[in-house]
Amino acid sequence: MTEKRMKIVLCGVQPHDPWHPFLSLANLKAFSGTDEMVASRCDISIQEFCYRKDKNLKDIVGALSRERPDVVGFACYIWNIEGVIDVARELKRIAPSTKIVLGGPSAEYDLGGQPLAAQAWADVVVRGEGEETFLELLKAWLSGREWGAVAGLTYRRNGKIEVTSDRPLMEDLSVIPSPYMTGAIDVGKTSSVFSYVEFARGCPYSCKFCQRSVDRHKPRYFPTERVVADMKRIISIKGKAVLVVINADPFMEQLLMDRCLRSFNAVAEGKNVILAFNGEVTHVDDDLRTLLNSPQLFMAFGVQSIHKDVLKTVSRGFDRDKTDRNLSALEKQGSLSAKVINLMLPLPKDTPESYLTSLNWAVSFGETQVITYRTQIYPGTELWNEKEVLGLTYDPRLINQVLSTPTFSKEEIESAQELAMYVNLLRTLPLVRSLVTEWGHALSDRERNSHVRLYAELLASLRGRDVYLKERLDRRHEMEWNRRGLYFYSEWTLSREERVAVIRGIKTFLREVEDRYVLKGRVRGDWERRCEDEIQRYEWRDALPGQMKALEALSGRGIREALLIGEDLVPSVETMNEDGWKLKAIDVTARPYYSIRQLTLSREWDAVRVRGYEELAKGLGSERYPAVIVEGMAERLKRDRSLRETLASVGDVLSSGGCLAFIGPDDPAPENESEEIVGRLGFHRVERAVIGESAGKQVSADVWSRGGAA
């Protein structure tokens, strides 16, 4: 008779869809599978559900109960604990013999506001790192041993709560198999583009607001070979990805970070992949900075506040000089990467004025994003234990978000949060960000918090002068903005009409500011022309699909399956391919990170390659196309010899009888030497015509064909 196998379901309760897989559950499965007894006598599966309060509770519980599990383990965090409690409690009600195991910070420190003794449905909590404890717990069940010998448990026995000794941390992380390489996470079936890659565990800092600092200890690192293998596997299977690094501060181990960055740059080259990580900016040294200049990197720096007395209340330090120096160097030497400064609102002792000076300091770095997070107090942290002493009020319904402090009222916090959101929104437009930074610096010796003041005045001016913008620049649209990419700084967050209206509005606003503060000569004199150029860029981008259709009607030479070369092409390719076209594109945008990021979230991710102008001279690839279309680049072709030489490689990618087309405002065709190159390739002009109008300018098309004139 075959021995009955123990059935274990590790359950991830997600608050939204699509989700990233629970790395913690996958680690448990991968590590438990290394034990011969467990591997031979247990079936371990992972199931993840999106919990929508009471709308699908019965469906989730029904799916779990149909598995007839002996054990169900839940990963508990402050953002999903409500769903875990609802699901686990209902599951225990209908399947009382099922053992409920809880792990994670919200199980260990505070189970929905109540201790384990008050949760009759919960059998056992795994404290701290779970791999070894969970494995030993399974082996105890399999062999019939008492749980008391298993370190790291809190459990109920005979109506009483028992607590075993703490388990030492795992010193050698190499014994944990990769969940990606073992298949505990099936990358091909995950619905999210986001994947977590563990670089290290542990945190050397002691921030009172963070659950990591509760068990502060020296970081321990996974083998570099494993980290690199995980990245390669995810990228090779998904093709696109945002790889989120788990490491308290990857810059603390420069050699490890150097090796990982070099490996990532090699495996991700030419692919729509982003590596995202948090770190301490003062730890970025000169040698590492050159590796950080990549459009495939996203770096977040948790500054939180620039006031030492405020930071002291949460056990953080701040070196203003070194932070300024390193951020400035990163903006200059690492201009291709995306960087963000994180602030917290509010911290104990923070005031409206101290927060505004922090926000003003952050936005003074013109190319660095700024995101303000509302402070949340997590169970088990020092901030949680001191909340009454510090006078913090909070709302459990908003994941323990701080509502007020003795120095920052609820109304003041809401006002500051709203201002930060609007500043972030306006800064998604590159020209607005650039102009306000320039003018803010010009005013810094006259006006306190000059950058934030200009943003606030600009917002008031836009709303006051334009009825359309008054309605559109309203917080009621925040969810809509978020869907378009507000919090990864996409300039497509606002619609084309909204962007154009804002640029026109800032022209009027800056004229007034220039006169009011007598700033002639203190800012770049070409700012009005820059505004007009930006309006043309936005209108041209929006008009491009229509121009392409007109070009198709003009030539009909395989335009729908062409290779399109130009700037900021992702939205246009998405629009046209969704309409039945089969375009491929090379996007030579001046903002490559944002195009790559957009492509990681796009259904057309494999249709567009993001490359710099200088890379075009190396060739256009190995695929062949019935047409190559160069859009909006005529002026640049005239000026840039390397780009003219790029035309010589067109013949390598064109199918027999294919055509080459130039489209753009005014005169689209390359002149003189570059036109001679086209002629030497055996092309003859067959058509030159006006195909539309954009931003008040005619849009022309110049079509060339091989094999004789039309």
pLDDT over threshold 80, residue 356: yes
Average pLDDT for 215-224: 81
| Stretch(es) of the chain classified as CATH 3.40.50.280 | 6-163
pLDDT tens column, 364-375: 999 899 999 999
Q: Which one, of 299, 213, 206, 200, lies nearest residue 253 by Cα?
A: 200
Average pLDDT for 679-691: 81
Reported confidence tier of residue 1, pLDDT bands at 50, 70, 90 = very low
Q: Give the fold, CATH level 3, of 193-375.
A: pyruvate-formate lyase- activating enzyme (3.80.30)
pLDDT over threshold 70, residue 642: no
| Stretch(es) of the chain classified as CATH 3.80.30.20 | 193-375
Query: 484-522: b or e for each residue (b if 16 or more CB lie within 10 Å)?
Result: bbbebbbbbbbeeebbbbbbbbbeebbeebbeeeebeee
User: What pLDDT does residue 107 have?
Assistant: 84
Reported confidence tier of residue 20, pLDDT bands at 50, 70, 90 = confident
User: What pLDDT does residue 708 have?
Assistant: 47
The tokens describing 45, both together, are 């599966």
User: What pLDDT does residue 556 have?
Assistant: 80
Q: How far apart are CA 522 and CA 511, in angstroms?
A: 13
Reported confidence tier of residue 115, pLDDT bands at 50, 70, 90 = low
pLDDT tens column, 447-502: 999 999 999 999 999 999 999 999 999 999 999 999 888 888 889 999 999 999 99
pLDDT tens column, 492-528: 999 999 999 999 999 999 999 988 888 777 777 788 9
User: What pLDDT does residue 79 have?
Assistant: 87
pLDDT tens column, 258-313: 999 999 999 999 899 999 999 999 999 888 888 999 999 999 999 999 999 999 99
User: What pLDDT does residue 641 have?
Assistant: 64
User: What pLDDT does residue 636 have?
Assistant: 66
Average pLDDT for 190-205: 90
User: What pLDDT does residue 693 have?
Assistant: 83
User: What pLDDT does residue 697 have?
Assistant: 79
pLDDT tens column, 122-142: 999 999 899 999 999 999 999
3-state secondary structure of 515: helix
Q: How far is CA 498 from CA 369, 468, 483, 503, 504, in A?
A: 21, 8, 16, 9, 10
pLDDT tens column, 545-577: 999 999 998 888 789 999 999 989 999 999 999
Length of the chain equals: 710
pLDDT tens column, 649-684: 777 888 888 888 888 876 555 555 556 667 767 788
pLDDT tens column, 536-549: 889 888 889 999 99
User: Which CATH superfamily is 6-163 part of?
Assistant: Cobalamin-binding domain (3.40.50.280)
Across the chain, what does the average pLDDT equal?
A: 89
Helix (H) or strand (E) segment spanning residue 194:
strand 194-198
pLDDT over threshold 60, residue 408: yes
Q: How far apart are CA 24 and CA 131, in angstroms?
A: 9
User: What pLDDT does residue 117 have?
Assistant: 66
User: What pLDDT does residue 18 have?
Assistant: 67
User: What pLDDT does residue 710 have?
Assistant: 39
What CATH number does domain 541-706 carry, 3.40.50.720, 3.40.50.1980, 3.40.50.300, 3.40.50.150? 3.40.50.150
- In this predicted structure, which of 37-41, 85-89, 634-638, 686-690 has the lowest mean pLDDT? 634-638
Reported confidence tier of residue 113, pLDDT bands at 50, 70, 90 = low
Which residue in the block uniquely carries the two structure tokens 């609007």? Answer: 422
User: What pLDDT does residue 16 have?
Assistant: 81
The tokens describing 367, both together, are 């190319």
| Stretch(es) of the chain classified as CATH 3.40.50.150 | 541-706
What percent of the chain has pLDDT above 70? 93
Q: How far apart are CA 128 and CA 125, in angstroms?
A: 10
